[in-house]
Amino acid sequence: MWKDRLRIAGEAAAGLEYLHVGCDPPIVHRDVKSSNILINGKLCAKVSDFGISKSRNVRPFSMSTNEQQMWTTGVSSSTAVRGTPGYIDPLYVESRVPDASVDVYAFGVVLFEIVTGRKPITQDVEGDGKYIHIAEWAKSNHKRGQLSAIIDPRMSNVS
């Protein structure tokens, strides 16, 4: 099972890398999440749902001052923050600049899902019942020295 999960993650990562490096112009997906990674009967993964993707044919450093201001302040609807809660990079929310780091952050959340078997945002049943992001949940376990609690229990005895 670990090997399958690792291979699926690798294939999804290769698909995202192609968007950022292989496409001309490069594309930022902006909605990378586990449900947008399709897996066929042979467990081959493909990135899907490009509904809010954004072409990066214009780079901020090549823009005029007015264009840069519109790009970074979110005045234009094309720079509106898009994505799914739990997968959205907090720096993207601040800058409103959709670059490759948006997809890298979201893919990191997907990797956390693969390792932990948890959703990106869950209700903290052991604490005060508030909703907690997967990264914060992992940090709290790490601080308590409970690293084994982070790994998906279904994977603990599987090679």
Catalytic (active-site) positions: 31
- Residue showing tokens 């007015």: 66
Half-sphere exposure of 83 (CA within 13 A, CB side): 29
Which residues, listed in sequence order, are joined to residue 27 by a DSSP beta bridge? 55
Determine the angle formed by the axes of helices 134-143 and 100-116, rounding to 10 degrees.
Answer: 60
**Dihedral angle of Cα 24, 30, 35, 37, to the nearest 10 degrees:** 20
Residue type, 131: Y
Residue type, 112: F
Helical ranges in 60-127 per DSSP H: 65-73, 90-95, 100-116
